[in-house]
Structure 1
Amino acid sequence: MKAVPAVYHQYLDVFSKVKAEKLPPHCACDHHIELEGSLPPEVLRQFHQLKETFTIASILSHFDPSLPTIVETDALDSALGAVLSQISDSRKHPIAFGSGKPLPAELNYEIHDEELLGIVWALKHWRAFLLSLSSAFEVLTNHSSLQYFMSSKILTRRQARWAEFLSEFHFSITYCPGPLATLPNALSHWEGVYPERGEDFISKNPMNYQKIIKQDEIEAPKFFEVNMEAFSTLSESIQKSLWQDSQYRSILQHLDKGKYVQDYYLDSSSQLLLFKDRVVVPNDLKIQLSILQKRHDSPLAGHLGQENTLKLVKRDFHWSGMTQFICHRGSWTEIQEWPGTQQSGNSLGRLQKDKE
């Protein structure tokens, strides 16, 4: 038998002696592979487009202290994301990416401090780079009030500590709307950094659950967690109402015909319509209130404000006007279901609906 090239030695057990003799010699320099001549033009075009994409894809650049520098940050729930970039040739080039998890105590921060934590974390992470800059750098955040943090007169003790640290740097904070901050937003949405919730959390450390929740509240329904019967009922209601909603009926019809609709698809197991991996909810007040109640009243969620309730609902659901809906209804829904105030809560709920 001819000598088998070294590159194939690890695969000797899958080749017969006859086939091993026919293996082509290993070529270290020329890796050109001719394409099949009978390939359709469309296939060839896509292949060459793929090759070009690999060759021109963005790569990390080397840090240059003399170039304009940008730090983009985002904080969401239990995740932090940041991107360090520099401007060169009138283009923004990424230098480094970063993502992390806040400490357990930091998970309770209000939205303002949560977003500010993202900035502090990023500047600590790249402190050596940022202190070496010859000019001021720019910090982009999707929380507009942070633009004025460094000039604030009244600060909490935590904010005062952060302000002292931030004073080491020469920078300005600029507001960047969330939809434009795609890179740090993607890093802070990484599922791997979310804390365990629901049954997984309870089974691994049940004592934590018992200490903060009364015995009669342990069986409270939690959507997508323990109460599968409630999920099944709500799922059926959503499916039925979607076909009656003119906004989504045409999308469902297109998907049924196998047509592509950007960002929408049907889940094969539940047959629910999804928008960017979130369940699409029709314009049905009863269904929307049911989802809001189950999310807000879950014992594992704790006491949520409007912004955190919105984040919790947005993680799994999507419907038009969700932000306005939750901000207008969150307060009276909380009172309506609070133990010991059932009668007054119902009256407030009816009064609110009558005004609408």
Structure 2
Amino acid sequence: MPFGLTNAPTTFQRIINQVLREYLDIFVVVYLDDILIFSDDLGTHKEHMHKVLKKLEDAKLLVEPEKSHFHVQEVNFLGHTIRPNEIRMEQGKIAAVKDWGTPKTVKEVQAFLGFTNYYRRFIKDYGKITAPLHDITKKGIEFQWDNRQQKAFDEIKNRILSEPVLRMFDPTKEVELETDASDYAISAQLSQRDNDGVLHPVAFFSKKLHGAELNYPIYDKEFIAIMRAFEEFEHYCLGTIHKVKVYTDHKNIQYFATTQQLNGRQIRYAEYLSQFDYEIIHRKESENRRADALSRKPEYKQAVPKTNGQLLTTNDKGHLVQKALGATLKKTAHAKVQIDTIPSLEKLQQEAKMALIKEIHKHPLSGHQGVKKTLDRIKRHHDYPGLRREVQTVVSEYDTCARIKSARHKPYRELKPVSVPERP
């Protein structure tokens, strides 16, 4: 097989897989010409090594002794340093990041992101920290390196230089998944406990929300965080011996499986999650700080409408709304205000109600949305009898909404003059 051909790596990988197929993922991992043999003890390891070398000999494949390491408990493999029960970044890669100069062009930024992205599972909040760097690599955006980019660049370097350590995944142990969502991002942490009950991280995940996702209610954002976490860690969470424990600080997520009504998006989420064996456990925000910290980086918060209006009376039309409101009250505990001092149960005057609706409806990020979406945005924090009727009234009064609303009928045909009759 000549070097330099496009199909050469694929062909070589297929040959190696065929030769060692009997042992793959049992005690052998192979990537091109890198063969890693792992065992529980030295005696078993010698047997495994003999079997692999015999297979290579039968296939007339040679091994270079000077490039090989035998009977070691620490090895560098694909940019990682692997030790018993843990995995780290390779020291050579860490040194490369330490000496990495400030990027001067888009290509240099892309090179830095491409290098660090390989280690994103080691870095808390990677997606949100690198957001300013990704912003200047977009097509049509002028390259401009300012304090936000420099801060993100330095933060990523510091995170890597701190040499984070991840625990090796153990399929026989219970899996714990902590998820969280904020207005602008979602995050998760996959962890397992050791024999002493101490929790260790296995992998991190974070992702910045984009487009329509930013407008979702917090319930849906928390739901997305759980679903995306299972997508990211599917190879860990699918077919587990024990139930996967999912911790969230949004209380009403616990009830989605028994909720009487789900919208189309939530039904798709529930259908995907049905293949996993898991349970959702509510945990107070103060106890969910590991995942919470990943999704609440203040530097990259999006501008979202905030209202100073009082919380309106609860809606007693349906248990789901009651639970959602209860969760919202618990969610605001971080404001450090006693619940009994919040004037949330006082009824607002009619003028204040209408002002609240108009403020949310005409906000630049709302974009003069229709009745349903405006109602959804208001119900994130407020609810009272007759709210839908008043939203319909406010939306119908705006001339802007009527003019920009998309037509729902077929295009009008060309008007033709009606002939005037000669006689009545």
Greater helix share, structure number: 1
Normalised TM-score (structure 1): 0.43
Normalised TM-score (structure 2): 0.37
